Every structure is written in structure tokens, then in C-alpha cells.
Structure 1
Amino acid sequence: MEQKSLGVIGGMGPKATSVFFDKVVDRTDAHKDQEHINMIILNHATLPDRTNAILTNTGDNFLQAIKRDFSILESAGVANIAIPCNTSHYFYDELQKMTSIPIINMVEETIKEIYETYGEHTKVGILATNGTIRSGIYAKVSEKYNLNLYTPEAALQEKVMDIIYNGVKSDLDVDPGKLEELIKQLVEKEQCKCVILACTELSCIKLSEEIAGYCIDAMNVLVERSIVRSGKQVKPMK
């Protein structure tokens, strides 16, 4: 299979981008440097906050700021683009119009994986930013695949945002137990078959093997699709 370069528009946030890169390296079936994927990573940390852009209807500011990134990646000759930020996918159609290079749709690929694993009418929980939740991007694709998406009630959602913004994005250590408790609530109390980790900041938190078994991490899905589209094979999860 032909090897292709991967473009990455990161910085949303920087830690999540570094985790994405590490995961691509770790999950690529490679045994020497030359067998890994060529990647162009733009850590565009100064991009406007995506949740704020959605909630204040200022998406044009975000789109204008990210526009030059596509020109850079086109000049670099990448074959596919990965954007490790769930909330930014609210603007997916507008982003794809900015470039002829295919952008891997993190949301679509994640929901498709859940559908293929659990089947129709599965009740699925989601942990994400307010922007992702209110944008309805996961709800829309879930409906397309006949999945029942359950969004957290207000008190639980507030805890999710605290973990994301006052924990990971603030470069503070987060007790995995806090996130694990929220996942357990969705599984045990709300009877969700699985839970989507639909914020790449949540992917930065190491979960226990038991709790991770209930989760579909959108970051991991994007990592796997990025590897395959770059002409490489994915190593099984350890």
C-alpha cells in the first residue's frame, strides 16, 4: 500500500495534540523509523476557542483563523488531514470547503464504529464540551445510524467542563477517578451501553482498564483512521 503523508491541525489543545501524535506513533505497526508515517503538525494554539465560537455565534473568526493552515498543508503535499478536536467538527462542512484534501471526519467515524460494534438502537452516553453537546453534531450523526444518544444532565455536564477547562487545559493534574465516576454514572445509573469520550482533553486522562472498556474514545478512532489512510497498519491496543 502506498505511504501517504498526514497533515494535522492541532493546538486545540496543545496537550491533546501531543497525545494524538504519541498515539499515532505507538499504534502504527512499524519496526524502524522509516516505517512510520510522515506527518506535518501545525500546533495552532492561538485559534479562537471552539466552544465559545459556537455559543456566541462567532464561528467566522475561527474559520478565518484556520484558513491559512490548509494552504500550508496543501503546499506540504499531505494526502489527508486530521483535526484532533471534536468541537471543531461543528464547522466540518465549512472546513472541507476550504481545501481539496480530505479531512477525516472524527465524529462520523466514531459513531460508525459504535454502530458496527453495538448495532442499532444502542443507548450511548457522551462526555464532551458544552459546545460539542449544544452543537448537536454527535446527536445528528447518531440519528443517522439509529443510535440513542444520551446527553448528561446539567450537574454532571458542569463536572465534565471543570475537568476539561480547569484541569487538562489548565495544565493541571486530573484525578482519573473524577472522570471514571462520571462514566460509571452513565453506565450504571443511565444504562448506557458505552460512553463516547468526545473531547480530546479527556483522552489525556489515563483510565483504568475496566472503565476504559465502556468507552469509545473519539481520539483513538481518529488515530486509527489516520494510520490506515496513510497506508499503514494499526497495531492492536495493549
Structure 2
Amino acid sequence: MKQKKLGVLGGMGPAATSLFFERVIENTVASKDQDHIDMVVLNHATIPDRTRAILEDNKEPFLQAVKKDFEIFEVAGIDNIAIPCNTSHYFIDEMQEMTSINIINMIEETVSFIRTQFGSNAKVGILATDGTINTGIYQEECHKYNMKAHIPNVHDQQKVMQTIYDFKADKPVDVYGFEQIIANLMENEKCDCVILGCTELSCIDISDHLRPYCVDAMQVLVNESIVLSGKKIKNRAVVSNKA
């Protein structure tokens, strides 16, 4: 496949965008600079909050902000766009209508991976923002494959949101408490795997004994971005949240 340019619509949040960029470089088979993927990374940190846009039913400020980014990508000759933000994919149909450039659907790719790895009868735990949970985008995608989707109880969901926003605010993150939520989904709710459905959660280093059951949506997006750019993924590149 001919090498293609990748556009990265980032800033949601900046640390997650940085990690995505690093993972693309680390997981691309390359022996010299010229073997890597040409990327245009827009760290659009001032994009309106995606969860708030959904919960307040006010999508226009978000859509108007990203429209300008797509115009930049078109001028730059981008072939595929990666958006390392799960919640923003609620608007993917409307975003795709704004541009002729293919937007990689992280939600679809993640659930497709789970079906391949864990089977069509898998029970899938979903850890994500309130916005992502409330839209049901992961739940609906799981149901397409007849897989069971399970969301945390209210108390655990509050902890998930606290974890996400503590990380965004550069505050100490209760990693142990977050891991207990994962363990509960695996042991008590009998989930076969858990989706790390927020890119901030991809930045947290999960313990080795839990990592095999965590499907990191960002890593799925990284892998698909590499393949669609005409490059090969390193053998060591697995779907996990190991930073």
C-alpha cells in the first residue's frame, strides 16, 4: 500500500494526544526517519468539552470548532483522520459529512477487535466519560455483534469521571481505586474484558494482572492508523494500556 498522510485531531486532551503520537511512532516498523508516517497533528486544546456538549444538547460550538480543523487537513493533503477522543465519536456522522477525508471510527474498530479476540458472546465492561456512556455508542456497537455491554454502577461511574478529570487537571490519580472498578467488572460482573473508552484512561499504567483484560481504544486507533497509512505494526504492539 502506498504511504498515506495521517491527520490527528487532538487536544482532547493534550496528554492523550501526545501519547497517541508517541505510540504511532513506537509501534510503526521503521529503520530510518523516512519509514515513519507523515502526520499533521492539531492540538486543538480549546475545543469545547465533548461531554458537556452532549449532556447539555449543545453540539454546534464543538462542530464549528472541528470544521476549521478539517479544512486545514484538506489543504494539507491528509488521507485519513484519527481523533484520539472517544466521546467525540458520538458526532462522527456529522463530522464525516464535513469532509471527504476518511475519519477512522475508533468505536467500531475497538468493538470489532473485541469480537475477534473475545468472541461474539463476550460480555464487555465499558469505562468512559458520562457523555460516552449516556450516548450509548459503545453499547450499541456491542449489540450489533450480539455482545453484552455492561456499564458501571452510579458510584463507580462517579469514580471513573473523577479519575478522568483528576488526570486532566494534573492532580493525583487514585490508580488503585480505578483498578478496583476493573476488578469488580471482571470478578463480580463476569465481564470478559473491559474497554478503556476514554483516552485519559489510556494514560494510566494498569497493573500487569489486569492488563490482558483491558482493551485500550486508543491503541486500537493507533494500530488502525498505522495500517491505513500503509505501514506495518510492530509485533510487540498489542492492545493494552501499557504506556
TM-score class, shorter: over 0.9
Equivalent residue for 2:80?
80
**Deviation of residue 173 (structure 1)?**
3.8
User: Structure 2: any 5+ residue segments left out of the alignment?
Assistant: 238-243
User: Structure 1: any 5+ residue segments left out of the alignment?
Assistant: none
**Deviation of residue 140 (structure 1)?**
1.1
**Deviation of residue 151 (structure 1)?**
0.5
Amino acid of the structure 2 residue aligned with 1:172: K
Equivalent residue for 1:235?
234
Q: Distance in 1 between matches of 2:20 and 2:174?
A: 21
Q: Distance in 1 between matches of 2:236 and 2:185?
A: 24
**Residues 176 and 31 of structure 1, relative CA distance in 2, 3 Å threshold:** farther
Amino acid of the structure 2 residue aligned with 1:79: D
Q: Distance in 1 between matches of 2:28 and 2:163?
A: 29
Equivalent residue for 2:30?
30
Q: Distance in 1 between matches of 2:231 and 2:172?
A: 34
Q: CA RMSD in A?
A: 1.0
Q: Give deviations 1:151-201, integer Å, cap 9, x for gaps.
A: 101000000000001x21102242432322111111011110000000000
Amino acid of the structure 1 residue aligned with 2:186: V
The yes-or-no answer on 1:146 pairing with 2:146 is yes
Q: Aligned pair count?
A: 237
Percent identical residues: 57
User: What is the 5 A alignment of 1:59-138?
Assistant: 59-138=59-138
TM-score, normalising length from structure 2?
0.95
The answer (yes or no) to whether the contact 2:6–2:40 under 8 Å persists in 1 is yes
TM-score, normalising length from structure 1?
0.97
Equivalent residue for 2:220?
221
Q: Give deviations 1:102-157, integer Å, cap 9, x for gaps.
A: 00000000000001111222111010000000001111111111110001010000
Q: Distance in 2 between matches of 1:40 and 1:67?
A: 16
Q: Distance in 2 between matches of 1:67 and 1:134?
A: 24
Q: Distance in 2 between matches of 1:58 and 1:190?
A: 34
Q: Distance in 2 between matches of 1:172 and 1:104?
A: 31
Equivalent residue for 2:5?
5
